[in-house]
Structure 1
Amino acid sequence: MPSNKEERATQMYAALGIGFVCVVIGIPLWWKTTEVYRVSLPYREIADISKTMIKYTVDLDIINGDQSLSGDHITQLSRLLSDKLETREAEVAPYYRLNIRDATEKELAKVKAMTSTSDVDGQFVSGEDGINRYQVVIIPKISPLSLQKPFLSLGRTVLVKSAGSSDIQSLADRISRVTQDSLVKEESLSKAFHTGKGTGDRTLKPEKSSMRSVRSNPSYDITFTLVNPQPDILDVQWDIEEAVKDYLDPFLQQLNKYAEINVKSQVLYFTGFLKRMKRDSKKQAFLYTDKDLPHVINPLEAKLGSHTSNNPALNFLIYVPSRDQHPIYIVDSKGVEVESNSFLSPQWGGIYIQNAPSPSDNDTLPVTVELDMRRAMEVFISQLRLLLNFQSQKNGDALVADVGNQVISKWELDGWLRSRCLENLGTSLATLQSLAQLLGEISNIVIQDDIGQQVQDAVDSIRESQHHLVEGRLEKAFLESRNAIVCSEKAFFDPSLLELLYFPEDQKFAIYIPLFLPISLPVLASLWKAFKWMREDKKQKKE
């Protein structure tokens, strides 16, 4: 029979074996099998690109069509423009590549023969595709062309009248002002980036354009709605398909490379304005003031139908007043009728009131009425330009050519691409920073491979967009920024990253402690006794 000493030794070795299995094999195995899968994310790259200064390059060609300006004057003008357009230290800063030259004989002949601004773009054509490259043509002080202010054509040509050789400073001021404030809009670009990033100065009053326009998005949904409150009295006909083809398609074709715009239409019957209108006995009409307009949209919006797309929705309504509300006019705060008889709702759309002739008592009902779609589409396209943040710079510093059927001038399109590009970069940077912070704070969120790939794609697109901006490749920069915002938001809003799917750390301990504590106490006690026995046994052997 084994002695007590041998039995005790056997028990102690058994305790050590159990402890070894639990500590050396069990704990690592449990730790490995319960850990969450987290693909490595480029946290350092996100931090680096967030600190990178955004610089965009603009090509500016100055063509001297004033023969009274000598080579010294051109040199002086070049130096003054370089000083005024010099890149400043800021998070968003422009860089102008200047090229100043004398007009060729052919160009000089065109300048001398110019009597109007009607065909400026046909006479001065920039090379290649011309995107992000502008031509400033200096017109002589003595010229048949009457030009008191700089003139912006439908293309990328600007006409500036010279003040003569005695005032190069004034000429440089006009060129730099029209470039910075009208063509490039430096201040608006900086605000667009900081607004997208969420780092704008909250003490400053935001621009109306940023509050009015919808945020940048790869796709938009447009819905045209005809509202006929009394179809039993008026049979309103509208050829919306032909109107979209004739008036809206030229606008959409200019944007089809940069945004997908989906158009649909509908007709609403037996619904109308619920807000009671004020009747003007002198005008024999019902009047809506600017204070009444906010109460008009809500009753109509509830009946427009559900919007099932993730794209921003823009609504354009044609309202035909009923017999008991005919006619309706919109007046401003001073009581003056609004010429378009329409109003714009920021980030929502617009409503146009078309007063159809009211049927007489002898007419057979319903009376068929054809709407003037040309007038309606002119109103809606002007509203759509504002909602998509297209604004021509019709300010006191420059004259702007009427866009007419072209809808968007080329320099306006450049400005829109530049603004949306910076807004996309700001938004995607803010999204990646928020995502990195979220995943850093909650360590048990699973990060799948596809999320890691989307984050990496967003980082790469941001870097590519910044590089294209520096090189002056505006179109490529915009397309990369659009991909960056799509990838970053897809990663950020992935359902697997929902915080509610994961237990907080304190709840984990509340679950594990009641499970492992009763098991671990006997094991730890046995290990402690085994170590004590080994130490005593070693001491006895030495003695």
Structure 2
Amino acid sequence: MSTKNEDLSSSQTVSAHSDHIMTVSTTSQRPPPPEKPEAIRTRFKVIAAFWAVIIFLGFPIWWKTTSIYRASLPIPDMIDWADGKTCRPVFPLEIRVETPFLPEPEAQHLVRTTQHTLDDLNEFSAHHLRLKLSNDNGDDPLQEPADTALTVRLLLQEDLVNPKSELQHDTTQLDVYYTPSQVPPLSSVNPPLSAYIAGELQQLFTEEKAIIAQILSDSPATGAAATSQSPSAMLSSISPQLAESIAKRLRRSMKYADTYHLAFSLFTPGAEPSSWDIQAAVHEYIVPLLQAFSPISNFTVDTQVQLYATFAPTAPAPEYDEEHAAWTLKPEDLSAFINAAEWPLSPSIGPGPTINFILYVPEAAQSPLVVKDSLATSWVVPQWGGVFLLNPANSTQLRHLSREDLQTAFLTFSHQLLTLLGAPATPAALPFRLQTLTRIRAASLLLSASSTMGSLARLTESLPSIPIPATVATSVATTLSHLTSACEHLRRGRFQAALADARVAETAAERSFFEKSMVGQMYFPDEHKVAVYLPLLGPIGVPLIVGLLKEVKKAIALRKARQVS
């Protein structure tokens, strides 16, 4: 009886426990109450409001404040200039021939036969000489006349066996002396006098041709395939000595600048000399040269005196040479002569490069001071300046350097300045060398500005994220305009005008390439922008995107439910 009661109680307990489980299960599976339509619409409006603010307000503000302005550039024209397709520099040099003692027909015949001989001798078609009688006015009066590169004056002289020539040192005039028997008859094809004049002209312009050929061959715009008239072919025909001299001069000369700063410094290891007539010396020996250079570059002049300017501790001390009774510096030690750590030599004053000229007066105990072997008292520091050692005439140290004391030093400085500015070594006539330098600078500046245009075009295409301000577009337009004008002036032989346009083109090209706003963006890649935006937009964007996705899913589910029902 007790067993039955226990079974009944156990059965009731299990039944009650089962009913409780079913009740709990039924309660946990009960769906939530449906949302009210007003709550759904409110949530949708809130999410839509956030996205509306982002799309119609935030995104336009972000786009406007972060957009990069890129002015339109004539990229094809810039590339064509860099590749040499727009302009190939040519140098037609006009040479005026004066024949005061020859009749007109004979003078014309002499000029014509000389021109034929010059054309046969010429191996570089980009640089050619054009002879013209001084009384020939065949030029277009509406066109600006070409520059006269040289004037050849034929002078009659009785007591000559062979013709001779003489180049005037202060002008660009070549005097050719001949006898009446050397005047070619009208029937002659290649008279000796024509051959002589052509040979003299060819020799005068040999170095200029070689320098221009070197400049053209080094430029990618003109480095075309070698032909019989190419710059490379011209360079292969010159002598090794001339080629080495030109290469050495190009290594020594400074890069072209619109303005150079000349710094003349007096250094002495003691207290004397403490003063010098620098203004008189500069005015007499330097200013005329600078005025002659004014069409090519501008110059400013600074001076200073530095006392107790000793050698650098690491510089080798001068050695005494008993044979020459002088203190000597080894040629290999000249590079350590300048004590750059203690001597106040500014590397640059203003926007242009500085050319330093040092006048060093050694102390009496180490005088005279010269360079070993050559016994030279001056040397050129490539692309930097020049040094002159001024040894007093007597053993007593000078307290003051007069203009006469400075004459030799400043004449040397003037020659060093010509070397540093890239003037050719021959011929000796300074006006002739300056005209040659004008043509050389016009060619180098035209090629440099063209190359800069190509570099700028490739830069803007390879980096689409950098800005291009309107000032760059203006500078590019200025550069291309003046390049076109410079090329036209070169073609017509107006080299002074070509140089003026080339200077403007080079300045505008450099200004456009080194624009500050562009240079700053060149080193700001897109990865940096992502790194800046992610920490700011991540916490805001994730909830908005997730909420939008949920609403889209609910809308899709509701539409499917309506379709099923």
TM above 0.5, yes or no, is yes
Count of matched residue pairs = 489
State the structure with bigger RCO (CA 8 A, min sep 6), 1 or 2: 1
* CA distance in structure 1 between the aligned counterparts of 2:305 and 2:411, rounded to whole angstroms: 20
For 1:34, which of 63, 66, 76 is the aligned residue? 66
Q: Which residue of 2 aligns with 1:155?
A: 171
In structure 2, the CA distance between the partners of 1:369 and 1:502, relative to structure 1 (3 Å rule), is closer
Q: Which residue of 1 aligns with 2:297?
A: 259
* CA distance in structure 2 between the aligned counterparts of 1:301 and 1:173, rounded to whole angstroms: 60
For 1:349, which of 362, 376, 385 is the aligned residue? 385
In structure 2, the CA distance between the partners of 1:502 and 1:463, relative to structure 1 (3 Å rule), is same
Q: Which residue of 1 aligns with 2:494?
A: 473
Q: What SS does the corresponding residue of 1:420 show, helix, strand or coil?
A: helix
For 1:187, which of 190, 204, 210 is the aligned residue? 210
Q: Which residue of 2 aligns with 1:57?
A: 92
The letter of the residue matching 1:518 is: V
**Sequence identity (%):** 24
In structure 2, the CA distance between the partners of 1:97 and 1:146, relative to structure 1 (3 Å rule), is closer
Give 1:180 deviation, angstroms. Answer: 5.4
Q: Which residue of 1 aligns with 2:22?
A: none
Q: Tell me if 1:460 matches 2:501.
A: no
- Mean Cα displacement is larger for which, 272-281 or 240-249? 272-281
* CA distance in structure 1 between the aligned counterparts of 2:196 and 2:546, rounded to whole angstroms: 88
For 2:423, which of 359, 382, 390 is the aligned residue? 390
* CA distance in structure 2 between the aligned counterparts of 1:540 and 1:6, rounded to whole angstroms: 23
Q: Tell me if 1:47 matches 2:71.
A: no
Give 1:267 deviation, angstroms. Answer: 1.1
* Structure 1 runs not aligned, ≥5 long: 104-127, 395-399
Q: What SS does the corresponding residue of 2:215 show, helix, strand or coil?
A: helix
Q: Which residue of 2 aligns with 1:447?
A: 468
CA contact (8 A) 1:150 1:178 kept: no
User: Residue by residue, what CA displacement relative to the aligned partner does 1:421-461 show, whole Å, maximum 9, x if unpaired?
Assistant: 11112222222322332233222323332233223222222
CA contact (8 A) 2:111 2:132 kept: no
For 2:151, which of 115, 119, 135 is the aligned residue? 135
The letter of the residue matching 2:278 is: I
The letter of the residue matching 2:91 is: Y
TM-score (norm 1): 0.75
* CA distance in structure 2 between the aligned counterparts of 1:530 and 1:63, rounded to whole angstroms: 102
* CA distance in structure 1 between the aligned counterparts of 2:196 and 2:554, rounded to whole angstroms: 92
Q: What SS does the corresponding residue of 1:350 show, helix, strand or coil?
A: strand
* CA distance in structure 1 between the aligned counterparts of 2:161 and 2:335, rounded to whole angstroms: 47
* CA distance in structure 1 between the aligned counterparts of 2:393 and 2:447, rounded to whole angstroms: 51
Q: What SS does the corresponding residue of 1:207 show, helix, strand or coil?
A: helix
TM-score (norm 2): 0.72
CA contact (8 A) 2:261 2:301 kept: yes
User: Residue by residue, what CA displacement relative to the aligned partner does 1:216-244 show, whole Å, maximum 9, x if unpaired?
Assistant: 1111111111222222xx44552111111
User: Residue by residue, what CA displacement relative to the aligned partner does 1:375-415 show, whole Å, maximum 9, x if unpaired?
Assistant: 22211111111111223424xxxxx5xx5xxxx32x22221
In structure 2, the CA distance between the partners of 1:145 and 1:256, relative to structure 1 (3 Å rule), is farther
RMSD: 4.2
1:111-510, aligned counterparts within 5 Å?
131-138=147-154, 144=160, 148=164, 151=167, 154-160=170-176, 165=184, 168=190, 175-176=197-198, 178-179=200-201, 182-183=204-205, 185-193=208-216, 207-231=247-271, 234-235=272-273, 237-273=275-311, 274-299=315-340, 302-305=343-346, 307-331=348-372, 335-338=373-376, 341-359=377-395, 370=402, 372-394=405-427, 400=428, 403=429, 408-409=430-431, 411-499=432-520, 503-510=524-531
Give 1:152 deviation, angstroms. Answer: 5.9
Q: What SS does the corresponding residue of 2:409 show, helix, strand or coil?
A: helix
In structure 2, the CA distance between the partners of 1:438 and 1:74, relative to structure 1 (3 Å rule), is closer
The letter of the residue matching 1:168 is: N
In structure 2, the CA distance between the partners of 1:77 and 1:390, relative to structure 1 (3 Å rule), is closer
Q: What SS does the corresponding residue of 1:355 show, helix, strand or coil?
A: coil
Q: Which residue of 2 aligns with 1:521?
A: 545
* Structure 2 runs not aligned, ≥5 long: 1-33, 137-143, 224-231, 237-242
User: Residue by residue, what CA displacement relative to the aligned partner does 1:105-147 show, whole Å, maximum 9, x if unpaired?
Assistant: xxxxxxxxxxxxxxxxxxxxxxx99844433345679764975
The letter of the residue matching 1:380 is: F
The letter of the residue matching 1:251 is: L
* CA distance in structure 1 between the aligned counterparts of 2:358 and 2:195, rounded to whole angstroms: 45
User: Residue by residue, what CA displacement relative to the aligned partner does 1:204-224 show, whole Å, maximum 9, x if unpaired?
Assistant: 977122111111111111111
* CA distance in structure 1 between the aligned counterparts of 2:492 and 2:460, rounded to whole angstroms: 34
CA contact (8 A) 1:320 1:355 kept: yes
The letter of the residue matching 2:65 is: T
* CA distance in structure 2 between the aligned counterparts of 1:471 and 1:129, rounded to whole angstroms: 8
CA contact (8 A) 2:149 2:435 kept: no
* CA distance in structure 2 between the aligned counterparts of 1:146 and 1:237, rounded to whole angstroms: 55
Give 1:257 deviation, angstroms. Answer: 4.1
